[in-house]
Structure 1
Amino acid sequence: MFTFGLLQKVKNITFCAAAFSLTSFCQANDFANNPEYNNFKAKTKLMV
């Protein structure tokens, strides 16, 4: 029973990590396709 609970926690953590990374990728992809991205890139290039 203890191992079943542990496996369930590992599954949940893995699922949450996958969902978080997928949504982060989608947000980054949306941002890169946004017309404001070139403006943002130009501003941050000056800072570096």
Structure 2
Amino acid sequence: MLNKLIHGDTYRDALNNGIEALESLVAAYQATGELLPEPNTVCVVA
């Protein structure tokens, strides 16, 4: 269910689509009674 790419015609559209996807994910976990996974930390090396 995780690791999905979010798209949109603009950065704002992509952001709004991402927010909607996260809200749907939380609702799906709540509907099944499952706990959300613990957050992960991503290390970016430039």
Name the TM-score, length of structure 1 as normaliser. 0.49
Higher helix share: 1
Compare CA radii of gyration and give the structure with the larger one: 1
Bigger relative CO (Cα 8 Å, ≥ 6 apart):
2
For 2:14, the equivalent position in structure 1 comes to 13
With the length of structure 2 as denominator, give the TM-score of the two structures.
0.51
- Inter-partner Cα distance in structure 1 for 2:32 and 2:26: 10
Superposed CA deviations along residues 21-45 of structure 1, whole A, max 9, x for unmatched, are: 000000000100xxxx7xxxxxxxx
Q: Percent identity between the aligned chains?
A: 0
- Residue identity opposite 2:21 in structure 1: F
What SS class does the counterpart of residue 27 from structure 1 fall into? Answer: helix
Aligned structure 1 segments of 4 or more residues deviating by more than 3 angstroms: none
Number of equivalences: 26
In the TM superposition, residue 20 of structure 1 has moved relative to its aligned partner by 0.2
Structure 1: gaps of 5 or more residues: 1-7, 38-48
